[in-house]
Amino acid sequence: MVAGASRDVPFANFQGSEIARLCQIPTTAQLSGVAQTTKTAYKQLLHQANIFHAYHHANFDFSEPLNASLTVADGDILLAQILTWRLPHLSDIFLSCCETGLGLSKKLTDDIFTLSSGFLCVGARNVFGTLWSVAQLSAALVCIFYYRDRIENPHHRKAQSLQIAQHQLRDMTGEQLDRDFGDALQDSVQDYLEELRDYALSLPKGTVEHAAAEQNYLKAKEQLSQEYFAQLYNQALPYENPTYWAAFTCQGLG
């Protein structure tokens, strides 16, 4: 599992810890944060895993689809590179990243030039991707609901578990979000903000890098304030809009 590969993924710790707990993933099978998530480590873990989950940034390139990329700490892993790999052991890969199922075809899920289809081409039997840029917290929740259903209802087909997860997010009230995940979200966001602050403090004062890191910390602190979560929890159905859940697709054997 990969949970965050840059310093602008505030809910990486939340999603990573929740999924690791649900699926009992050992720390040796996890990559987290900038220090760990390099191209080499990413590829190595992919070649070892039977089921692989990724939560970080990705992009589709409309001008050159083979440049669609998974963004890790030390650069991008391009679709063109992925197509040279061989992953016959890979049962499932869940790409909880932006635009991993996006392509040029009108039938988007049938387009070979997508990151999702690329993994199917090199051996994965099931690939989960997204058709647009997804909101980070709602993406994390879809994944948590998906793995929870896989554990509670192993007889369900994987596409069915994804559909159930999407419906659960759509129908979840703000009160339920607070009750079920409020404490975990608060703890993970606090850890994230401390990491940003410590990184800024580690840089020499007066440098451009320090100023940028300090600005990023202050911006994140404002965006992830208690008022933000209070407003979220007070909403009747905060993720009712299809924008939050309809992007997720399942391709493969199901």
Q: End-to-end CA distance of the chain: give it in Å, rounded.
A: 20
Looking at the structure, tell me whether residues 6 and 88 fall in a common domain: yes
Whether 143 and 200 map to the same domain: the answer is no
Question: Are 179 and 131 in a shared domain?
Answer: no
Domain that holds residue 198: 174-233
Mean pLDDT by groups of 10 residues along the chain of 254 residues: 94 96 96 94 96 96 92 96 96 96 63 86 96 96 98 96 98 98 97 97 96 97 96 98 97 86
pLDDT at 140: 97
pLDDT of residue 108: 46
In this prediction, residue 111 carries a pLDDT of 54
Question: 51 and 62 in one domain?
Answer: yes
pLDDT at residue 109, rounded to an integer: 47
Q: What is the pLDDT of residue 227?
A: 96
If asked whether residues 76 and 151 sit together in one domain, one would say yes
pLDDT at 113: 81
pLDDT of the residue at 103 = 80
| pTM summary value | 0.94
